[in-house]
Amino acid sequence: MVSPRSTSFIALGAVALLALAGCSGGNSANDGGGSNGGDSLVIDTAFSIETGDPGHTYDPTGNMIAKALYETLVDFEGSDVSTPVPGLASWEQNDAATEFTFTLEGDRVFSDGSPIEAKDVVFTLQRIQGMTDAKPNFLLGGLTVSEVDEKTISITSETPLLQLPAILANPALGIVNSDVVIENGGTVDGADSAQKYLDGASAGSGPYVLDSLDLTSQVVLTKNEEYNGDEEAGYDRVVVRNVSESATQLANLKGGDSMVAMDLNGDQVAGLGDGLQVESVPSGQTIFLLLNQSEAVAGELANVKIAEAIRYALDYDALLELAGAGAVQATGVIPPGFEGALEGGVEQDLDKAEAALAEAGYAGQTLTLQFPNDYPVGGVEFTPLAERIQAQLADAGITVELAPQPFATELDAYVNGTEGFGLWFWGPDYADSANFLPFGPGLKVGLRAGWTAEANPEIAGIAAGAASASDAGTRSEAFTAFAEAMQEEGPFVPLIVPGRNIATADAVTGAVYNSVWEMDIAEINPAG
């Protein structure tokens, strides 16, 4: 990310702090949202939401709510984020991938019945561009948005941007009713004050409208009676509750007090029992090790060959045992499901590890592994993972000392690049492999590892080529080459892609994980 939310990790970090602050629910949604309600759907999740305003939201729960209330120009189908499809609009682009033309399809309307027009799209995107402190602001950097006619919008980029359709599918860029938002303080000049209004009412065209928003307890949605798209609401009322403890989520689901539990770990979903089902899939996040290449930080241990040694010293199958259902080995810095991801990961090879250590001149010095010890990622606890890494590296002759810290404390060290050896995680901002180029030398995450462009000009060049490609085939080849080169010569050791487990009662269907918006509430329907 390249704004106040300048990296994927920072976004996830804010999510972590919000989740830790969330309450442990268990209420029955104000006596109207239990699973016996017939026309109501109750969803339990650990809240990570700051607002109901799509222009300001950039957290998992916030994205899920925005997806239900607001529609985007571009969409994805189900859990497949590999191929963007038309949402409110179809599009064309020039050969250089710098000029895009979007045409609104059909006679779609907002929740007040007024038509969706090009002016609404232009206002929505320019409003976010004007709010420099808005979390999604970086998504629209370097873009010029203009109205061609009532149904047509032009978006031009300063550089080739083949990922633009994927970016525009982010729920934070949901199209708002410009007349309503302007009437309630919306502007495009940075003086916008519409967030207060949008925290109490919605102004979109999605299958649902906002009934009430309580950032600490629950969000209530009701069916949009004016909706005329192809994804109708399956329930008259949806209650999304803040239940931060996965054990409480499980108890609520088993007891019939909820119908969907979004945050169960691998052990909890292993034996759900009759009447319940679960979808366990890899998430879009990657847990990895970082080895700093700055001598000012890591001293004589600033050697990329040590990273290579660690890469081959680890037993990845044994690490995966700690991750549970849905998790897979990270095959590289680009996780499975994204363009350029490698088919297979590194396999343990102690001979290669020994050779790399010898080449690095490693003589038994202690590596201090820093990591956050109070925030699991996809159900993966970092402390037992770090302990298993420590034991495996000891068997390979590498001495590791563990240095856990609270998330908020350790975040500064990671962001400022002062960690010599760190255990961290990264997730995508939008569904495109461009999200993972920051691991390259001289780029955001690479620099956090003290890895400058001069340290590996070849990989820096590959990353630059992938970023500027205007041809889909060339771009795909560049991403693959980037992933391969990073596995061979990078200072990162990708470990695990954690799983996401969404458990549901048999009475519902369609609760599917999506790496961009967590889950599409409008796709959930009564079974049968």
What are the extents of the domains in the chain? Answer: 8-281+501-526, 286-497
DSSP 429: S
Q: Tell me if 137 sits within 8 A of 2, measured CB to CB.
A: no
Tokens of 167: 């970016």
119 closest CA partner among 177, 53, 65: 177
Q: What is the pLDDT of residue 267?
A: 83
Alpha-carbon Rg for the chain in angstroms: 23
Contacts of 140 (CB under 8 A, 6+ apart): 125, 128, 129, 173
275: left (phi over 0), alpha (psi -120 to 50) or beta: left
DSSP 116: P
184: left (phi over 0), alpha (psi -120 to 50) or beta: alpha
Tokens of 19: 């989740």
Q: What is the pLDDT of residue 429?
A: 85
- Alpha carbon separation from 185 to 49, 51, 172, 421 (Å, rounded): 22, 16, 18, 47
Q: How far is CA 61 from the centre of its chain?
A: 11
User: Percent helix, strand, coil in the chain (nearest 5)?
Assistant: 35, 25, 40
* CB-CB neighbours of 447 under 10 Å: 17
**Do the domains 286-497 and 8-281+501-526 match in fold?**
no
Tokens of 259: 């119908």
Q: Tell me if 55 sits within 8 A of 125, measured CB to CB.
A: no
Q: What is the three-class DSSP state of 277?
A: strand
Tokens of 350: 């102690």
- Which element (helix H / strand E) includes 342? none
Q: Tell me if 314 sits within 8 A of 392, measured CB to CB.
A: yes
Evaluated on CA atoms 374, 376, 382, 384, the torsion sign reads: positive
Q: What is the three-class DSSP state of 78?
A: coil
d(CA 99, CA 85) in angstroms, rounded, equals 18
Residues in the chain: 528
Helices (H), 39-190: 60-69, 118-130, 164-168, 178-183
Q: 286-497, what's its fold?
A: Dipeptide-binding Protein; domain 3 (3.10.105)
Domain 8-281+501-526, second-level architecture: 3-Layer(aba) Sandwich (3.40)
d(CA 463, CA 183) in angstroms, rounded, equals 44
Amino acid at 328: V
d(CA 502, CA 55) in angstroms, rounded, equals 27
pLDDT in tens, the chain (528 residues): 333 333 333 333 333 333 333 333 434 444 444 433 348 999 999 998 999 999 999 999 999 999 999 999 999 987 888 889 999 999 999 999 999 999 999 999 999 999 999 999 999 999 999 999 999 999 999 999 999 999 999 999 999 999 999 999 999 999 999 999 999 999 999 999 999 999 999 999 999 999 999 999 999 999 999 999 988 899 999 999 999 888 999 999 999 999 999 988 888 888 788 899 999 989 989 999 999 999 999 999 999 999 999 999 999 999 999 998 889 999 999 998 899 999 999 999 999 999 999 999 999 999 999 999 987 888 788 999 999 999 999 999 999 999 999 988 999 999 999 999 999 999 888 889 999 999 999 999 999 999 999 999 999 999 999 999 999 999 999 999 999 999 999 999 999 999 989 999 999 999 999 988 999 999 999 997
Evaluated on CA atoms 441, 132, 419, 332, the torsion sign reads: negative
d(CA 254, CA 264) in angstroms, rounded, equals 12
Q: What is the pLDDT of residue 270?
A: 82
pTM for this predicted structure: 0.85
